[in-house]
């Protein structure tokens, strides 16, 4: 398996993981929001508020990740285009292609670090939401 194939698999799996995480985030946000207004008045429960703040932070980190990736890829392709336009005989198509693939891998690796911020935000949001439900059941 060559580096380009590995890069494609990583990109595909990352997109699937982000899509699933975003769906979970939207679901948790909808449930949390529904609990806020479940008794016809705004609930200011600490657990619900914490869950909602974590969900908002999740979406901010998610947006930041994609903004970061767009900027990095834009810079990569702008620089690649400049090198391609001004290249001499010492830079072959294969060297340029390998450099681009290597840089893409580095961009994705640094972008993957965002996952380690996003996953705990969703996990703790879910835990706070479950604790809220548990305490509501006990108090009734």
Cα–Cα distance, 105 to 6 (Å, whole number): 9
Q: Give the count of beta carbons closer than 10 Å to the beta carbon of residue 119.
A: 13
Q: Mind listing the pLDDT tens digit for each residue in 88-117?
A: 777 777 777 777 777 777 777 777 788 888
Give pLDDT, residue 51: 94
More confident residue, 35 or 121: 121
Domain count, the chain: 1
Domain that holds residue 70: 3-139
Confidence (pTM): 0.77
CA distances from 68 to 15, 64, 116, 138 (A): 15, 6, 15, 44
Instruction: Pinpoint the alpha helices (H) of 37-45.
Output: none
Look-up of token digits 């990583």? 10
Question: pLDDT tens digits, residue range 31-82?
Answer: 998 888 776 665 678 899 999 999 999 999 999 988 888 888 787 777 777 6
pLDDT confidence of residue 43:
63
pLDDT of residue 40: 62
Q: Quick count: other Cβ atoms within 10 Å of Cβ 122?
A: 20
| 2, containing H or E segment | none
Q: Supply the pLDDT for residue 42.
A: 57
CB atoms within 10 A of CB 97: 13
| pLDDT of residue 122 exceeding 80 | yes
């Amino acid at each position: 398996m060559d580096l380009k194939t590995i890069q494609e698999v990583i990109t595909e799996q990352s997109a699937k993981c982000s899509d699933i995480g975003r769906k979970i985030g939207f679901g948790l946000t909808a449930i949390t929001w529904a609990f806020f207004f479940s008794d016809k008045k705004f609930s200011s429960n600490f657990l619900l508020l914490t869950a909602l703040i974590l969900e908002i932070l999740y979406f901010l980190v998610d947006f930041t990740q994609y903004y970061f990736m767009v900027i990095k890829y834009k810079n990569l392709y702008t620089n690649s285009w400049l090198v391609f336009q001004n290249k001499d005989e010492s830079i072959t198509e294969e060297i340029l292609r390998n450099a681009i693939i290597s840089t893409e891998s580095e961009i994705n690796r640094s972008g993957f670090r965002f996952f380690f911020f996003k996953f705990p935000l969703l996990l703790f949001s879910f835990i706070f939401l479950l604790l809220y439900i548990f305490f509501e059941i006990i108090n009734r």
